[in-house]
Structure 1
Amino acid sequence: GTTRDSIDSILKYYGEEIILIDTAGLRKKKKVLESIEFYSTIRTLKAIGECDVAVVLIDSIIGLEKQDQKIIDEVVRWRKGLIIAVNKWDLVEKDSETASFYEKAIHQKMGAVDYAEVIFISALTKQRIFKLVDLCKHVSDERKKKIPTKDLNDFMLDEIVKSPPPASPSGKEVKIKYITQIGQHYPIFAFFCNYPNHVPDNYKRFLEKMIRNKYGFKGVPITLSFKAKSSRQE
């Protein structure tokens, strides 16, 4: 039979124990009214909250559906590592460009979540299943990665001088003086500046892209926090 519970199992992989939480996923909206599906939804959301890395399984024939995007939105909201596993890859007619085309299409549909890792698998033939486990471990490590403050400032401040933030609406110059990585469970970068409320969203995206291009964090959400500079950053 089919269970709607989340099922935990332990995988021993190269000396490490990895806890796998398998869920039935979120169902279509009209079915959520049924009691068993309602509790399945609650368990799926609970599983997302408990995991370090979420693997969202999508059908290669159907593609990314609205319900998949809702799950992805929850993963992002919880600031978890994210991998999109495209299943039934054995059924797709392909050439050397097909995987690249699929990955670009998925990232375009996901918008700002274009940092997600994408892997093409087949549950039936076991294609890339062990590579998926390796990828989960890699994303988990990226999520816990810490960038030394000196390295961060040496690189970022130099780049910010070359491409400074735009002036505030009142015409005042926004100056970023100091950057450090904070947070224990996922990467948060604190930017200390004179007008933290006047850094526009497009410049925040520019800074995030700069961090990703230099330091990686593939498959991991990054949070940028802008704070008023203190005397130690003067």
Structure 2
Amino acid sequence: MGKPVVAIVGRPNVGKSTLFNVLAGEMISIVKDTPGVTRDRIYADVNWLDRDFTLIDTGGIEPESKDIIISQMREQAQIAIDTADVIVFITDVRQGLIDADFKVADLLRRSGKPVVLTVNKVDNFDKFMPDVYEFYNLGIGDPVPISASSRLGLGDFLDEVVAHFPEHTGEEEEDERPRVAIVGKPNVGKSSIVNRLVGKQRVIVSNVAGTTRDAIDTEIVHNGKEYVFIDTAGLRRKNKIKEELERYSIIRTVTAVERADVVLVVIDATEGVTEQDAKIAGIAHERGKGIIIVVNKWDAIEKNDKTMREYESKIRQVLSFIPYAEIMYVSAETGQRLPKMFDVIDMVIENQTLRIATGVLNEIMTEAVAMQQPPSDKGKRLKLYYITQVAIKPPTFVIFVNDKELMHFSYTRYLENRIREAFGFRGTALKFFIRERKEKDQ
């Protein structure tokens, strides 16, 4: 399973974003050339006491009127309930308890999901503690006092959050079935593909953007092998504000991608590849998942002998940050090439879990260095000592060098290409970490 997901819910101006930014703080590294890592960061990876989790800020548009605030908070709470493993409910000690807090607390309590009730803006524990106790009235457990802006109480707060994570038990690990997330813009045919693969109308599909019920995991058996498809079509919203709809669909995408091994990014052939497709693919790339670009509605395209090649080069251009992604042309309508999807998924998973012997890797590296000299700067040349694979899903390598500063990313990319030439690794990202070793450590 993927990392636990923690969602932040609360009224406008109680400090949701401040808390999000403090926790995401130094742990966020914005990857320049990846779409999807947007300015409006909705999610971040956080690590506390060896537990990794994905933090999601459900906030968004700050409405004016009281009624809208309550209905918006209900929406946000609903999103959190649908997608998160633990919900952080933020309140404000200065504003005290208000009606909207009770309404949201009700919703959260009924969901049965673990909730960490957090009282923000407690800059002075002695002074504010009597006011903090008032929040017991919400009936969702012990209030945890913090001050996000002064960074007070965050350790106790994080302890409380990770205490709700499922223990790493052996049982979870036994589910070896490939997990496949189907992501993409509304109306590209995600549900139709799942229906076609299942062979019965399981998902209600209509042509209104965002009319599918909540994400459901579907088990599909193909040639005696079980697969779990995670469908993100779950936008049950008759939502008025486009910006918000997009934000919610991104939250859903992140949580689905987090739980998957392989991500199918579905693109509408009749629309071509768009900026939003790039954003969605960027999330899967950043998370190091296997990626298959599925061009749906291929039957609706007028073709000649060049169509596919031209189409592919357009996709490769817009999605240039994932040159390793596999591309498939299918039609959910006619079922064209859908059965082949399972072979491609199997291949990508095999590549995601491939382990390369250290000796072989070092041979490839030595040869690569001989063919193209490492960069140098002010007379100092980069030396590469040793490479080893440290993880799978995605395959992750550590390279030991004499000086990290000299290891330009273009040289890392050159080595990555050499490794891909040798082993393929089609459909999966590769990660590289550069570590320094002083000459005397040799």
TM-score (norm 1): 0.90
Instruction: Give 1:84's aligned residue.
Output: 293
Instruction: Give 2:306's aligned residue.
Output: 97
Q: Is 2:227 aligned against 1:18?
A: yes
Instruction: Give 2:429's aligned residue.
Output: 221
Structure 1 Cα separation of the partners of residues 285 and 234 of structure 2: 16
Instruction: Give 2:366's aligned residue.
Output: 157
Residues 2-49 of structure 1: per-residue CA shift (max 9 Å, x gap): 324212111122332111111127899952425xx7554422210010
**Match of 2:413, as an amino acid?**
R
Q: Is 2:184 aligned against 1:8?
A: no
Contact 1:5–1:43 (Cα < 8 Å) also in 2 = no
Structure 2 Cα separation of the partners of residues 147 and 164 of structure 1: 24
> Where in structure 2 are the equivalents of 1:157-176 lying within 5 Å?
157-168=366-377, 170-176=378-384
Instruction: Give 3-state SS (helix, strand or coil) of 1:33's partner.
Output: helix
Distance 1:142 1:60, change over 3 A: same
Instruction: Give 3-state SS (helix, strand or coil) of 1:129's partner.
Output: coil
Contact 1:25–1:44 (Cα < 8 Å) also in 2 = no
Give the C-alpha shift of residue 100 in structure 1. 2.0
> Where in structure 2 are the equivalents of 1:101-140 lying within 5 Å?
101-140=310-349
Q: Is 2:407 aligned against 1:196?
A: no
Contact 1:10–1:17 (Cα < 8 Å) also in 2 = yes
**Match of 1:51, as an amino acid?**
A
**Match of 2:220, as an amino acid?**
L
> Where in structure 2 are the equivalents of 1:49-88 lying within 5 Å?
49-88=258-297
How many residues get paired?
A: 231
Structure 1 Cα separation of the partners of residues 337 and 347 of structure 2: 15
Give the C-alpha shift of residue 199 in structure 1. 0.8
Flag the structure with more relative contact order, 1 or 2, with Cα contacts below 8 A and sequence separation at least 6. 1
Residues 30-72 of structure 1: per-residue CA shift (max 9 Å, x gap): 52425xx755442221001000000011011111112111111
Instruction: Give 3-state SS (helix, strand or coil) of 1:21's partner.
Output: strand
Give the C-alpha shift of residue 233 in structure 1. 7.7
Give the C-alpha shift of residue 95 in structure 1. 2.6
Instruction: Give 3-state SS (helix, strand or coil) of 2:333's partner.
Output: coil
Structure with max Cα Rg: 2
Q: Unaligned 5+ residue runs, structure 1?
A: none
Structure 1 segments (4+ residues) deviating >4 Å: 25-30, 37-40, 230-233
Residues 74-133 of structure 1: per-residue CA shift (max 9 Å, x gap): 101111111110011111121333212211211111122111110000000000101112
Residues 133-175 of structure 1: per-residue CA shift (max 9 Å, x gap): 211111111111111111111122122122121103x321111
TM-score (norm 2): 0.49
Distance 1:29 1:109, change over 3 A: farther
Backbone CA RMSD of aligned residues: 2.4
Q: Is 2:414 aligned against 1:206?
A: yes
> Where in structure 2 are the equivalents of 1:32-43 lying within 5 Å?
32-33=243-244, 39-43=248-252
Contact 1:4–1:40 (Cα < 8 Å) also in 2 = no
Structure 1 Cα separation of the partners of residues 402 and 387 of structure 2: 13
Q: Unaligned 5+ residue runs, structure 2?
A: 1-203, 205-210
Please state which structure has a larger fraction of its residues in helix: 1
Distance 1:140 1:29, change over 3 A: farther
Structure 1 Cα separation of the partners of residues 231 and 439 of structure 2: 49
